[in-house]
Amino acid sequence: MTEAPANPLRAGIRIGPTAGPCVVVIFGATGDLTRRKLLPALYRLAQQHLIPAEFAILGVSRQQMSDQEYRAKMREALTEFGDEDTFDEAEWNSFADGIFYAAGEFKDGETYAKVKSRLKEIDEERKTQGNRIFYLATAPEFFGPISNQLAQANLARPEGQAWTRIIVEKPFGHDLESARALNTQLASVFEEHQIYRIDHYLGKETVQNLLVFRFANSIFEPMWNYQYIDHVQITNAEAIGVEGRGSYYERAGALRDMMQNHVFQLVSLIAMDPPVSLKSDDVRNEKIRALKTVRPIPVDRVDEYAVRGQYGPGQVLGETVVGYREEPGVDPNSSTETFAAVKIKFDNWRWANVPFFLRSGKRLQKRVTEIAIYFKEGPHRLFTDNDAPLEPNVLVIRIQPNEGITLRFGAKLPGQAMRIRWVNMDFRYGSSFGIKPPEAYERLLLDCMLGDSTLYARRDMVERGWEIVNPIIEAWKKPASDFPNYEAGSWGPPAAFELIERDGRKWRKL
């Protein structure tokens, strides 16, 4: 059999850099996040030799268990959530030798004494050199107590040449005030450079590609401003509902769960100016500079800028589903929004008068996250007797699924007449590179081990996200009188369409 010709685009696909020795201490070691994301990601990194032999995981949670029992649990997690095709028993066995467990309450000082002595043993056995990542994969009410306890047990500051870092999961605060309090609290224990606030959207390959697309190409950047761009739409649609997380979601809602963090990260990458280098703080400085210029939404005029929705029963992808209020753990009169649409504007030169329309929702027609840049029409309309109205040029960056980039433009329809059809030029990640991009958590965990915080949210960024949504949070404290206001499987409430149509634009048909 002849071998398929090698894909030249794949040459140089990243292997390395490899992380140095370290222990990842996971608080919330038996939880959903650890089983679904962290353990499979760490295992994949080990399989790709991106973490060294001098590596270990120490799981910490309440349940009593031996190391062996915990290893068996993690093995099950991998069967459930890992990649079946690449699983290898021998590789697993050697990886599992580095998995340890310590039982204890997160608020109890004894737990940390135990963690400390186990870390000492592990350093000796696995030669992990005192380097540690503390991963807070717990409910948010434990973030503060765990970091305090780590400080009291003298675990927060590294010794000698070693390093200590802490990864904090979302939700990072519940509003501006609580986010500030949490930041202040973490800052009393750790230096900012030790703190890694995770936003898994930043680990997505296509999100990272935004930097490359904008700043490694010269054709778009000169047009990336108010002179050429009419408006920007960001859609984050999910087909899934709350997936058994009703009680968490009741306190969150779409604005807190998706908009304040993930969607604003996308906004900042689109709106930012070029950074002076790719150094973590240079990139993050530009992102925050852009977000700082977002015009505050007046609390008494929130309705002009934001729309909330909640799904009722319906059909999603051929399946009949219950409404949000019927989900387990949800108040039957809940006013929590499962959909949010927001219009933002910037008070800066680049984006003067260019609205950004953002929407995010659960139980919409399908799963799609994309950024659409709508360009302005040219200065003079030449093709006036065309049979179809002129459409705008649109650049679409598909974050997921079918990751890729499409440019929509007019082309002459073959024939005697001068007629225009709108066509797409399409780049698809999957078929071009022919490989599955790494999971967001793989990239982010590896970056933390390497000490690179570029793809993590800095303190000012998190607080700015809250500052922008705060007036909306305030206004939405008032119970919604029209919930549920969209059918599961639709594209959200009618008011979301009105929001954009009032401005003479339309949501892209997806």
List the catalytic residues.
262
Shortest CB 257 distance to ligand BG6, Å: 5
In the sheet with 99-103, reading across from the earlier edge strand, the strands are 99-103, 55-61, 22-27, 132-136, 164-168, 195-197
Establish if 238 lies at the interface with ligand BG6 (CB under 6 A): yes
Please tell me the distance from the alpha carbon of residue 202 to that of residue 226, in angstroms, as a whole number.
Answer: 26
**Site size for ligand BG6, by CB under 6 A?**
3
Please tell me the distance from the alpha carbon of residue 443 to that of residue 396, in angstroms, as a whole number.
Answer: 24
Sign of torsion over alpha carbons 444, 290, 176, 191: positive
- Characterize 268-287 residue by residue with b for buried, 16 or more Cβ atoms within 10 angstroms of its Cβ, and e for exposed: bbbbbbebeeeebeebbbbb
Shortest CB 407 distance to ligand BG6, Å: 24
Nearer to ligand BG6, 248 or 497 (CB): 248
Considering only 123, 230, 257, 467, the residue that binds ligand BG6 (CB under 6 A) is 257
Nearer to ligand BG6, 165 or 170 (CB): 170
Tell me if residue 312 falls in helix, strand or coil. Answer: strand
Spell out the alpha helix ranges (H) of 29-133. Answer: 32-33, 39-47, 67-81, 89-96, 109-126
Nearer to ligand BG6, 123 or 238 (CB): 238
C-alpha to C-alpha distances, 285 to 267, 350, 463, nearest whole angstrom: 14, 17, 14
Largest CA distance in the chain: 84
Establish if 447 lies at the interface with ligand BG6 (CB under 6 A): no
Q: In sequence order, which residues have a C-beta less than 8 Å from that of residue 56 and are 6 or more positions away?
A: 23, 24, 98, 99, 100, 122, 125, 126, 128
Nearer to ligand BG6, 239 or 413 (CB): 239
Nearer to ligand BG6, 257 or 286 (CB): 257
Shortest CB 435 distance to ligand BG6, Å: 19
Establish if 370 lies at the interface with ligand BG6 (CB under 6 A): no
Shortest CB 484 distance to ligand BG6, Å: 18
Shortest CB 473 distance to ligand BG6, Å: 17
Near ligand BG6 in 149-178, by CB under 6 A: 170
Which residue sits closest to ligand BG6, CB atoms considered? Answer: 257
Return residues touching ligand BG6 (CB under 6 A).
170, 238, 257
